[in-house]
């Protein structure tokens, strides 16, 4: 069941951009989408963490740090991601965003948290080539450059979030930390919404369906499935199986929105995913122990 749960988690995460597109079609605004998403997810995760006792004994400092991590880092990443989704195709955004594992590796090497092995350097080169192909393949089409910039900014923000969470998450049960992160993000978007005159919830009734799907399927269920799967197969295998996520997004976008990628972009996407596999594939001889938040960037919360 371990691999199945990891693949199910990746599919749930991959469907999030699709649900977001349908939400936009129903008239849901970006801030309202994120406010409702994190409010529902926080309520469910807090209930689960409280029921299982995951929050019991968590130091006050860790609680404050978790709320800040969500209110600043994760809220920034989510705002950039869904802002980009409003302007560009879900499939293209998925491939742009998925450069974050390579970015995590680059920053970890710079900060001396990981060694600059030949395998990692090769993976970074492959990822760079893949990103160039993804963007270059759209340069002659209707690529929204501002949307692409937001998507890449989301990847950068998620990189910072992961590396910061490496310290914040130490010793805190993952479900409890996810609940705190979502709560912090919900508070941030509540403040942003208040600054814009409060939530605008007069969208089409179908909008609630897609908001609920994002919160329940692509946040809570995705997180819990990933944790359950990772407990059975380990963080490295779980991370490798999670590369299914952008594939799910691309396939669903092609089926539901008739989005299509050029052959050059598909080649670039294959390079990006290949680089992730090269970085995260377990080594045969004396693998380096890496912090959970660095080796499994999805362990904190959904995007």
Instruction: Please tell me the predicted confidence (pLDDT) of residue 211.
Output: 97
Instruction: Please tell me the predicted confidence (pLDDT) of residue 293.
Output: 41
Q: Which of 152, 133, 14, 142 is nearest to 83 (CA)?
A: 152
Instruction: Please tell me the predicted confidence (pLDDT) of residue 87.
Output: 92
The fraction of the chain above a pLDDT of 70, given in percent, is: 89
- Highest mean pLDDT: which range of 36-45, 141-150, 159-168: 36-45
Centre a 10 Å sphere on the Cβ of residue 285 and count the other Cβ atoms it contains: 4
- Summarised one tens digit per residue, pLDDT across range 200-248 is 999 999 999 999 999 999 999 999 999 888 888 877 677 778 888 888 9
Q: Which residue has the higher pLDDT, 233 or 45?
A: 45
Instruction: Grade residue 83 by pLDDT with cuts at 50, 70 and 90.
Output: very high
Question: Cα(151)–Cα(168) distance, rounded to whole angstroms?
Answer: 25
- pTM for this prediction: 0.86
164, pLDDT greater than 80 = yes
**Residues 155 and 100 sit within 8 Å (Cβ to Cβ):** yes
Question: Cα(277)–Cα(290) distance, rounded to whole angstroms?
Answer: 16
Instruction: Please tell me the predicted confidence (pLDDT) of residue 298.
Output: 44
Instruction: Please tell me the predicted confidence (pLDDT) of residue 157.
Output: 94
63, pLDDT greater than 70 = yes
Instruction: Please tell me the predicted confidence (pLDDT) of residue 291.
Output: 43
- Summarised one tens digit per residue, pLDDT across range 104-150 is 888 888 887 777 778 778 877 887 888 787 776 655 456 788 999 99
Sequence-separated (6 or more) residues with CB below 8 Å from residue 182: 38, 41, 42, 45, 70, 74, 219, 301
Handedness of CA 101, 107, 113, 119 (dihedral sign): positive
Q: Which of 13, 14, 156, 147 is nearest to 77 (CA)?
A: 156
Average the pLDDT over each of 70-84, 90-104, 213-227 and give the range with the smallest value: 90-104
């Amino acid at each position: 069941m371990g691999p199945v749960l990891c693949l199910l988690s990746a599919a749930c995460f991959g469907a999030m951009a699709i649900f977001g597109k349908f939400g936009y079609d129903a008239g849901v605004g970006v801030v309202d989408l994120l406010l409702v998403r994190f409010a529902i997810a926080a309520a469910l995760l807090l209930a689960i963490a409280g029921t299982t006792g995951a929050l019991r004994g968590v130091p006050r400092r860790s609680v404050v740090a978790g709320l800040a991590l969500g209110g600043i880092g994760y809220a920034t990443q989510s705002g950039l991601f869904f802002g980009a989704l409003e302007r560009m195709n879900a499939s293209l955004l998925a491939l742009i965003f998925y450069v974050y594992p390579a970015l995590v590796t680059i920053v970890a090497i710079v900060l001396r948290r990981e060694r600059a092995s030949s395998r990692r350097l090769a993976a970074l080169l492959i990822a760079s080539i893949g990103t160039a192909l993804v963007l270059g393949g759209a340069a002659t089409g209707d690529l929204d450059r501002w949307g692409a910039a937001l998507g890449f900014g989301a990847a950068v923000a998620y990189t910072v979030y992961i590396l910061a969470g490496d310290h914040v998450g130490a010793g805190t049960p993952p479900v409890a930390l996810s609940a705190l992160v979502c709560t912090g993000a919900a508070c941030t978007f509540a403040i942003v919404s208040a600054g814009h005159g409060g939530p605008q919830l007069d969208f089409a009734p179908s909008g609630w369906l897609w908001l609920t799907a994002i919160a329940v399927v692509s946040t809570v269920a995705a997180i819990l499935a990933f944790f359950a799967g990772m407990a059975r197969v380990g963080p490295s295998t779980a991370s490798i199986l999670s590369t299914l996520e952008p594939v799910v997004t691309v396939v669903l976008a092609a089926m539901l929105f008739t989005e299509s990628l050029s052959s050059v972009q598909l080649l670039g996407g294959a390079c990006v995913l290949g680089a992730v596999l090269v970085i995260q594939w377990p080594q045969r001889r004396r693998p380096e122990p890496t912090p959970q938040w660095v080796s499994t960037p999805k362990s904190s919360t959904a995007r």
